[in-house]
Structure 1
């Protein structure tokens, strides 16, 4: 999507200040609906939510392919993010329910290994699809392919996924899933909290990103009004969650979880690090195409070293995570991010690729070295009942950090570009001489956020200890429910005789990721992310009905890596 933005900008006449919106709103809706979707998956059934999420993704991908205007594109991209937010926790729950014990860890590690290959797969797909942008259909063909793949996987999921029933809660121990009971459960969901948090972050992002493109800038009446409203919504969300938690009601985010050691600091590091990384990634694409005037194909090829560096750092993180102090690994990754931001802030338009662009791209994935460390310690620092919530919050924070980061850097970049246009006595904001100062300003903002992450790590993470592999396995309970609210739903054991469905957790995926050193999914494009569906569905199709037979489980676990590799290739 990012590589296609200049082409989209030209066709739909999107201003420079609004160009970040398609990417920003997608991350925002993805993050805001992730926690709510996990709860709905437990109530309505994971199979149903997976089907709905995948079909939703396919439908809105098709809609984007026919988007006639900037507003239509932004609205459809925002709605598109709800699909992955719905099927991600459902997919984790479905897959985890079909394995137990050590076999579950190996299965997650194998099936979710797309995350390690996603940088290269995503880059290869982007390179190939770049050729299509010279055709009459242009960038729209990317979303046609995306819609077609989503449709195929929806049909496959309908026929291949085994039946899944909603898990019972504490007031329904016999598993009564009648319509009356489901409606009762739905009423207990923290709908007000979900609305307040989504509205708060949405209005905050809109007011920050839209200030410079507004008719009178920050003096435009609706900008400060929306900014104040967003603050009121976010403060109201915190107070609402506090009161509901004290009353013993279900909440979207229990504030008590922030009392866990280093929990808030780790989330703050994740927020600032992914702010810097994704904003730099966005502006690097614009730099190559709008300043150095490279084609989409050349830009895609230029990003290949970033993928290679990301793979290396993730593998290195997996090898060192149980041997090196976590603060050291986090600091090394953040220092790389600081160096990348500083390098991009002083990069020159006419400099050769090998002199500055290549070192910048090799340093940019520095946060990948922190990903597994942050994720593991965030989940390991809370009690068993809150580990799924902790893992989900980590993903929410990285998504919201991306959205807010793009909004803030876009506002800074646009303001600087307007000043540069005045200096050069021009009204054109698309020329390299005007764009480059804005990109540098955005890079310095990213530099500041990366430095802030370093300061937080130095001040707050000094006492973090190494988590041994055995200790991590003991603490990351594999049977934690995916219910990611405080309304603790009891775990259902899988019986080999009755084949009952086991409640699972995002933590199962986290364990599998650490077991095989899986990398950060942040590099995955929407197309490469879709590639995991066929691995996921096909694996479930193979194993359904056979999990009570231990000999077949061992055979299946040996088959999965080869099957996964072939399907991804």
Structure 2
């Protein structure tokens, strides 16, 4: 396998098209969420879906796309990122179109779940493609990752604006959103076929897939995310028997997955490894979380807490404007529009500063500003001018999400092996999905508990002014998540410098692998200076690196 650093530099047109392809995948993924969210009332009226069940039109997509990320990330690294990207995107296009023809509520919910499977395949492979196509040292690497991250705010504004317009003005109404999503997906598939380099399969000698581990982690995540999504709307809320049973079973399955991965990884150091399907390489080596002195795990937790803060703020800000202030969806979108503009500017700024400022301080500033947004809405005065609380909150909110996504994915890509790029990207995106579910769920619990305390003795809801405390309580919860992310950045990312100066781990040669344990060869190798990777000094450094890995 040709190391990424030795690949010839392509012309400018091809890499721009490649970046555009991966960014469009991110953009369409977000559109598939926001365009449906804004059209939920219309879908509910047309298909006769009760309000408590409408959320599953959004949750079904997030459930399948989030819980299958890890499996598809591993498959992309093993069998080819381009193959998985094209196959997943094609699946997404087919089922996006099918959603537009759904005859009823149940069929639409099922199709939304199937639609999410395509996103689960295309998103981690997108990050793997970018990491492989733009290795450390290339000037376009920061541009590639920050542009990809910019697809999220762009997708959000396009999904909300066009989704609302098509739902209200087109004859197919909400179905037009799915037709648009399918067309956009087909468009970037065609570009990707011609611009993404052909796959080079992983050099790993043992290319079996840990299907048992895949089943355990997928089932466990599905049950836990389901509980987080359904716990507050279940008949008896969190005391509902099926909610308790799903939560316990989900925790048990995830525990079994971790134990199974530890067992498989330990076998790699012994002579007990065989060709049996019962002893494949682990789906996710637990030692991966200890990379770079545990900073891999730290950046994952930062992503979880930051997304919990950001999505909670966004969720309750929308409800505050529509339910408390009584604004229409269009007026709400206008008040939230600054966050989309600032989101794009954040990614442009990130592409310039990531090579000059320590990642620690970039992430610390981002998570702090997101915390400030939640604090502004936790202290909001409904009678004050929009420019005092609303405008500043919308501007500050996206800094953490954009800085953490762009910087976090670049950092992770720089400390994992080439054959782990899509898997690590899948883990990062999975943590943001779990953070989203966790943040909205816990803030909803706080909101509901405060609302219960605001009900008068005759069962009539309290006046609107006391009701403001419930929205503030939810935002205080989001603020807690944001502060946790900031503290974690400051404490755990000490010593992390400018990210573009960090070097990823190189693939060891087959002869070196025979003399190293797989864990040593894959996870104990220190980073080298990318500027020296191809000269004689770099080769000597590589040899010295392997000696240090085995302690000789």
Q: Normalising by the residue count of structure 1, what TM-score does the alignment of the two structures yield?
A: 0.70
Partner Cα distance (2:444, 2:52) in 1: 6
- The equivalent of 2:342 in structure 1 is 309
Partner Cα distance (2:411, 2:131) in 1: 21
2:75 paired with 1:40: yes
2:487 paired with 1:455: yes
Q: 2:411 aligns with which of 360, 373, 377?
A: 377
What is the 5 A alignment of 1:144-183? Answer: 144-154=179-189, 160=194, 164=198, 167=201, 169-171=203-205
Q: 1:377: Cα distance to partner?
A: 3.5
- The equivalent of 2:258 in structure 1 is 238
Q: 1:215 aligns with which of 235, 243, 246?
A: 235
Q: Contact conserved, 2:413 with 2:425, CA < 8 A, in 1? A: yes
Task: Pick closer, same or farther for the CA change 1:357–1:128 going to 2, 3 Å.
Answer: same
What is the 5 A alignment of 1:37-186? Answer: 37-41=72-76, 44-67=79-102, 71-91=106-126, 106=140, 109=143, 113=147, 115-116=149-150, 119-120=153-154, 122-124=156-158, 126-135=160-169, 137-154=172-189, 160=194, 164=198, 167=201, 169-171=203-205, 185=207
Q: 1:235: Cα distance to partner?
A: 0.9
2:467 paired with 1:467: no
SS at match of 1:475: coil
Deviates more, 1:335-344 or 1:121-130: 121-130
Q: Contact conserved, 2:370 with 2:482, CA < 8 A, in 1? A: yes
Partner Cα distance (2:219, 2:336) in 1: 35
Task: Pick closer, same or farther for the CA change 1:356–1:139 going to 2, 3 Å.
Answer: farther
SS at match of 1:373: helix
Mind listing any 5+ residue stretches in structure 2 that lack a counterpart? 1-32, 269-279, 510-516, 522-529, 531-552
Q: Contact conserved, 2:38 with 2:164, CA < 8 A, in 1? A: no
What is the 5 A alignment of 1:326-365? Answer: 326-349=359-382, 351-365=384-398
Deviations 1:29-81 (A, max 9, x none): 32332232233335555454333212221222223334455554443333222
Q: Contact conserved, 2:224 with 2:247, CA < 8 A, in 1? A: yes
Task: Pick closer, same or farther for the CA change 1:468–1:285 going to 2, 3 Å.
Answer: closer
Task: Pick closer, same or farther for the CA change 1:68–1:284 going to 2, 3 Å.
Answer: farther
Partner Cα distance (1:447, 1:101) in 2: 35
2:321 paired with 1:288: yes
Q: 1:376: Cα distance to partner?
A: 3.6
Q: 1:251 aligns with which of 266, 277, 282?
A: 282
Partner Cα distance (2:145, 2:302) in 1: 28
Partner Cα distance (1:479, 1:142) in 2: 47
What's the Cα RMSD here?
Answer: 4.0
- The equivalent of 1:403 in structure 2 is 437
- The equivalent of 1:542 in structure 2 is none
Q: 1:256: Cα distance to partner?
A: 0.9
Q: Contact conserved, 1:5 with 1:19, CA < 8 A, in 2? A: no
Q: Contact conserved, 1:193 with 1:252, CA < 8 A, in 2? A: yes
Q: Contact conserved, 2:264 with 2:281, CA < 8 A, in 1? A: yes
Deviates more, 1:391-400 or 1:198-207: 391-400
Task: Pick closer, same or farther for the CA change 1:360–1:33 going to 2, 3 Å.
Answer: same
Deviations 1:478-499 (A, max 9, x none): 999xxxxx999x9xxxxxxxxx
2:234 paired with 1:199: no
Partner Cα distance (1:375, 1:165) in 2: 21
Task: Pick closer, same or farther for the CA change 1:313–1:283 going to 2, 3 Å.
Answer: same
Q: 1:412: Cα distance to partner?
A: 3.8
- The equivalent of 1:483 in structure 2 is none
Deviations 1:194-223 (A, max 9, x none): 222122222112223322322222332112
SS at match of 1:85: helix
2:65 paired with 1:26: no
Task: Pick closer, same or farther for the CA change 1:345–1:63 going to 2, 3 Å.
Answer: farther
Task: Pick closer, same or farther for the CA change 1:139–1:50 going to 2, 3 Å.
Answer: same
Partner Cα distance (1:27, 1:394) in 2: 15
Q: Normalising by the residue count of structure 2, what TM-score does the alignment of the two structures yield?
A: 0.72
Q: Contact conserved, 2:88 with 2:121, CA < 8 A, in 1? A: yes
Partner Cα distance (1:62, 1:330) in 2: 39
Partner Cα distance (1:468, 1:212) in 2: 41
Task: Pick closer, same or farther for the CA change 1:409–1:59 going to 2, 3 Å.
Answer: farther
Task: Pick closer, same or farther for the CA change 1:442–1:297 going to 2, 3 Å.
Answer: same
2:459 paired with 1:425: yes
Mind listing any 5+ residue stretches in structure 1 that lack a counterpart? 173-184, 481-485, 491-510, 512-569
Q: 2:477 aligns with which of 416, 433, 445?
A: 445
Q: Contact conserved, 2:213 with 2:257, CA < 8 A, in 1? A: yes
Q: Contact conserved, 1:99 with 1:107, CA < 8 A, in 2? A: yes
Deviates more, 1:121-130 or 1:256-265: 121-130
Aligned residues: 466
Q: 1:96: Cα distance to partner?
A: 7.4
